[in-house]
Structure 1
Amino acid sequence: MGQSPALGRWLFWGAVAAAVLLLLWLLNDILLPFVVGMVVAYFLDPVVVRLERARLSRTMATTVVTILAVLAAVGIVMAILPPLFGQIQSLITSAPEYIVKAMGRIQPLLEPLRNRLGFDPPSIHDLQAEATQWAGKGLAFAGGLVGAVAERGVAIINLLGLLFITPVVTFYLLRDWEKLMAAIDGTLPLDHADTIRKLARESNAAIAGYMRGQALVCLSLGTFYGIGLTLVGLQFGLVIGLIAGAISFIPFVGTFVGAVMALGMALAQFPPEWMGVVKVAVVFLLGQTLEGNFLSPKLVGDRVGLHPVWIMFALLAGGSLFGFTGVLIAVPVAAVLGVIVRHFVARYRESDLYRGSSNG
């Protein structure tokens, strides 16, 4: 018997998807500059469109936006990275000492619970030895990872790619964005083109709503936490604040990690002046209030349709399969898959498979 047309189409698109995944896996080491360029172009396309409405040509608008974006990136890097690297180096060096101090402050508070459970209290010497051992393991792991990557030449390739290839990719994608979209639209299968366009519009709304909105949320929180923790006098406040803001796109994780680091540092630094610890806690409470009541509702909203657990799973899966490149594309892919799944669930509920033959 011959193959049905529907089965043939499914086999064809399944083979295309498998080929794309295989290609991504094989070229994973060199994809980072191109993926970053695509992400940046996606973010900047609305700005180019607005300049076009101001009667600039697409090429001129793209040139202006690309130059301003590169200058802004260079300026931010030059202003932030030197003090940031200095604080990171000092934080890594001093981490065992601060961990011991923080545990020394916390231990008396846990004394009743320890007595009830019958645990022996660890000595300060044991805490210091344990902290030093874990810090050494962490530095050794990081050093080994950097060395392994550098030996393969991936680090140099990606660094040069980010510096030189990404701006070029961003420029050409921005300039030819409409042509690229038209070319893709022209290759859609005719009998499903309208459905695919509808799904693409919904996917774009979900991706834009989350990616652009969440990027602004992370930038705002990182700035707020960095400045706030520095103003209350917390050592390494800039580093901790920027880390908390940068990973705020992972639901609950950014806040938890940032609060633990900040409060741990505050416990090691401020007591017996407990007001400093209170000030650090207030900074995070204000940050969470700002995010929950203003930033996320205004910048991200409820139209995204991405559950926090689905986002965390997508980030872990993308990172496991494709490294940092996978993390960058994880949320867009999750958004598209979410739209497709909701579409097929709706189709299923309209079909006889769900309704049954008696309800037809």
Structure 2
Amino acid sequence: MEQEKDKVSVKSAATWFWKWFLNNKVVTILLVSLLVLLNLLVFSKITYLFNPIKGFFSVIGLPILMAGILFYLVNPLIDWMEKKKIPRIAGIAIVFMIIIGLVVWGIIILIPIIREQTMSLIENWPNYWDKVIAQFDNLLRSNIFSQLQVQLTDVNQSIIKSISEQANSVVNSTFSGIGSVLGTMTNIVIALITMPIILFFLLKDGRNLPYYTMKLIPTKLRLSTYNLLKEINTQISQYIRGQLLVAFFVALMFWIGFAIIGLEYAVLLAILAGVLNLVPYLGSFLAIIPILIIALVSSPGMLVKVIIVFAIEQTLEGRLIQPLILGSNLKIHPVTIIVVLLTAGKLFGIPGVILGIPAYAVMKVIFEHLFIRYQTYSGLYEQDYNPAPKPSTPIGKIKK
């Protein structure tokens, strides 16, 4: 009898352990998370093993990135020409000739203008800044703003001191950083040489790349993997193509507007506004600061004209250009975009600001697909789980 009681107690203990630990979904999730974190910890300790891979991508990464951006920008044009019965190779040749023509035009005409205006602006910027501070001093001479005037003077002195310190540090580190500068220039030269070759083969065979990739994926996962890659490709292409086109039209509108009102450094300021517009929301604010300073120094009338040009540009961009080009394809809340920009900029600097939004869009797509898969197999979301619509892509095409 005692042996049977012991067997029953052991069985009940095993059943209890199975019910609350081994067969518990929450515990399973925690164990899987623990294993993932342990793997990340192990990988963080052996990162030196990946230094050869890091060195390889440091050389080949830039041309691949440049070729990828140009691919997303010009591939729709080549697809359109192919639909018009123009052979794809001929379309690629036409696009390459257009790109070469634009590069030659930039080298002969645009770059000298930008260089001249940049040097002039750098040379005259201290005078502009002093005039702006003098105008604020005249505005704040009343007793009401006397304390603010002292603070403004202190801020001005701290800014000048900070700029001087940064300039001295740059000068002091120039000679010590010659090796890194030469390495960077070498990478840029390699990128400019290899980028057209990579771009050519991407435009020629890039659309067949998913089918070659699917051969490495298990048969049961091919359809879901193909749809995941297709959605990621759509998100990246829409963002890159949209942002570049919007930045181009912003620069063009500012160029025309500044040329009409006669603002100095019109070409340089317009291109700066277009480049900074690649940073959503924050770019326009950063671009308008030097423009307002130069306009304020020129005359109050010029300041009013610049504000009018900026208002017209913002209206056309917000009501016409962005809805037509970007639309709402990313479906990312503006607050989320700002948080992503600030976080990516803090962690990765300028590359993080530029690539933070598309990287977030890709991770969002991957997480959504993984979460839908988890909803299907976990059984924890039976009440509010709505199955995703079946993809329309035939499986036969994926197995091409």
Question: Quick one: distance in 1 between partners of 2:101 and 2:187?
Answer: 20
* Residue aligning to 2:234: 205
Post-superposition Cα deviations, 1:64-86, rounded to whole Å, max 9, x if no partner, equal: 22232222233234322111111
* Residue aligning to 1:266: 295
For the pair 1:352 / 2:379, whether they are aligned, the reply is yes
- Larger CA Rg, structure 1 vs 2: 2
Aligned length: 343
Offset of residue 265 of structure 1: 1.3
Question: Quick one: distance in 1 between partners of 2:288 and 2:264?
Answer: 14
Structure 2 unaligned spans of 5+: 1-31, 385-400
Question: Quick one: distance in 1 between partners of 2:246 and 2:178?
Answer: 33
For the pair 1:65 / 2:95, whether they are aligned, the reply is yes
Q: Is the 8 A contact 1:41 1:174 kept in 2?
A: yes
2:269 alignment partner AA: I
* Residue aligning to 1:4: none
State the SS of the aligned residue for 2:235.
helix
For the pair 1:276 / 2:302, whether they are aligned, the reply is yes
Question: Quick one: distance in 2 between partners of 1:352 and 1:259?
Answer: 53
Post-superposition Cα deviations, 1:2-54, rounded to whole Å, max 9, x if no partner, equal: xxxxx8xx98xx99x999x9777444532212210122122222222222223
Q: 1:158 aligns with which of 184, 187, 196?
A: 187
Q: Is the 8 A contact 2:250 2:274 kept in 1?
A: yes
Offset of residue 178 of structure 1: 2.5
1:342 alignment partner AA: E
* Residue aligning to 1:302: 328
* Residue aligning to 1:291: 317
1:285 alignment partner AA: A
Q: TM-score, normalised by structure 1?
A: 0.80
Question: Quick one: distance in 1 between partners of 2:292 and 2:314?
Answer: 15
For the pair 1:221 / 2:250, whether they are aligned, the reply is yes
State the SS of the aligned residue for 1:246.
helix
Question: Quick one: distance in 2 between partners of 1:26 and 1:308?
Answer: 36
Q: Relative to 1, partners in 2 of residues 1:321 and 1:254: Cα closer, same or farther, differing over 3 Å?
A: closer
Name the structure, 1 or 2, with higher relative contact order (CA <8 Å, separation 6+): 1
Identity among equivalent positions (%) equals 25
Post-superposition Cα deviations, 1:81-124, rounded to whole Å, max 9, x if no partner, equal: 11111111121222121111112223444567x83684453698
Q: Relative to 1, partners in 2 of residues 1:175 and 1:81: Cα closer, same or farther, differing over 3 Å?
A: same
* Residue aligning to 2:133: 103
What value does the CA root-mean-square deviation take over the aligned residues?
3.7
Q: Is the 8 A contact 1:100 1:128 kept in 2?
A: no
1:341 alignment partner AA: F
State the SS of the aligned residue for 1:291.
helix
Structure 1 unaligned spans of 5+: 1-6
Q: 2:273 aligns with which of 241, 244, 262?
A: 244
Post-superposition Cα deviations, 1:201-229, rounded to whole Å, max 9, x if no partner, equal: 32222222221111111011012113322
2:206 alignment partner AA: W
Offset of residue 175 of structure 1: 1.4
Post-superposition Cα deviations, 1:172-193, rounded to whole Å, max 9, x if no partner, equal: 2211212323211322232222
Q: TM-score, normalised by structure 2?
A: 0.72
1:136 alignment partner AA: S
Q: Is the 8 A contact 2:281 2:338 kept in 1?
A: no
* Residue aligning to 2:366: 340
Q: Is the 8 A contact 2:140 2:149 kept in 1?
A: no
2:236 alignment partner AA: I
Q: How does 1:229-240 map to 2 (within 5 A)?
A: 229-240=258-269
* Residue aligning to 2:14: none
1:62 alignment partner AA: I
Post-superposition Cα deviations, 1:264-297, rounded to whole Å, max 9, x if no partner, equal: 1111221xxx221100111111111111101111
